[in-house]
Amino acid sequence: MIAPRMTVDLKHRQGEQFGLSGPLSRFLRLIRFSHTIFALPFALGALIVAANGWPSLRILVLVLVCMVFARTAAMLFNRLVDWSLDQRNPRTASRHLLISKFAASLLLVLSSVGFILAAAAINRLTFILAPVALLVIFFYSLTKRFTSATHFFLGLALAVAPVGAWIAQTGRIDIAPVVLGFGVICWVAGFDLIYATQDYDFDRREGIRSLVVKLGITRSLRLAQLLHLLTFVALIGFGLLARLGPLYYWSMPLVAAALVYEHKIEKLDVAGINRAFFQSNAFVSAVFLVAVCADRLIR
């Protein structure tokens, strides 16, 4: 089996081989831009439900801009506060080579300002809540230093997306997006627990607070199963509150199958876990978005 550090080095060399080692490519790898697919479909789904169809082009573009800026700021903040820690972790040891610390700091400021300006252009409530949203998504990066519940704070950071998209369209907070946000929290916390099993030895050695370290791998995986069951219940609850139709509910078995599959991946090697982790979670969010679009856009 290829060790984690060797896997990172191999991917770096492959990127250079195919011309993917430019500044933009390194930046996108630093913020793991491909993982945007996890939260974005839930935000777009909430937006479409709130609009009862296609939102205006203006709102759609502003929501997308907010999503990109917010996630970029969150990932840059995370990289900066964990700069030295990541260098000691074999799985993340090459991250600091992708971009300088000064450049990361400058881009953090620009993306944060960009997010607030885009939120201000939507409506009054989104502008008022924009700094709060930034505080929530930044706070996650600090939680591992004082609590073992860091996985839930990560979920909360991603749950901001669908709630914010709903507010962008309606100008108010309703119970439906809150239930959806709860489902996102459980979903993210569950898959983050599975993912965190890769860092069990490192986290225990470094004294990093993590439920995987506190509970052990076996009990953590059982908790992840419970959280994903709650995710499924929350998605059903969102459908009921939003008065979604049969097309939405017919997609739920696909979501359930993907969640069950995700709990089979801990037996794979590191590369297999990363691949299955991305594919299964991307599938869950994509199915949700397609189901919502089918219900609201197909008449």
**pLDDT tens figures, 69-103:** 998 898 888 888 876 655 555 555 555 555 677 88
Buried b (16+ CB within 10 A) or exposed e, 231-269: bbebbbbbbebbebeeebeebbebbbebbeebbebbeee
Whole-angstrom distance, CA of residue 79 vs CA of residue 69: 15
Query: Could you read off the pLDDT of 125-169 as tens digits, one per residue?
Result: 999 999 999 999 999 888 877 888 888 999 999 999 999 999 999
- Give residue 36's pLDDT band: very low, low, confident or very high (50, 70, 90): low
Tokens for 184, please give them: 């996102």
Taken in order of first residue, the domains within the chain and their CATH numbers are 35-297 (1.10.357.140)
Residues with Cβ within 8 Å of residue 218, at least 6 apart in sequence:
none
Confidence of residue 63 (pLDDT cuts 50, 70, 90): very high
The answer to whether residues 49 and 292 touch, using CB atoms and an 8 Å cutoff, is yes
How high is the pLDDT of residue 7?
36
**Which class for 175: exposed (0-12), middle (13-18), buried (19 or more C-beta within 10 A)?**
exposed
> Between residues 206 and 63, which one has the greater pLDDT?
63
Range from 23-32, 137-146, 212-221, 226-235 carrying the lowest mean pLDDT: 23-32
Number of neighbouring beta carbons within 10 Å of residue 149: 17
Nearest to 82 by CA among 3, 7, 144: 144
- Given this model, what pLDDT does residue 84 score? 64
Rounded Cα distance, 39 and 255, in Å: 15
Q: Decide which of 42 and 80 is more confident.
A: 42
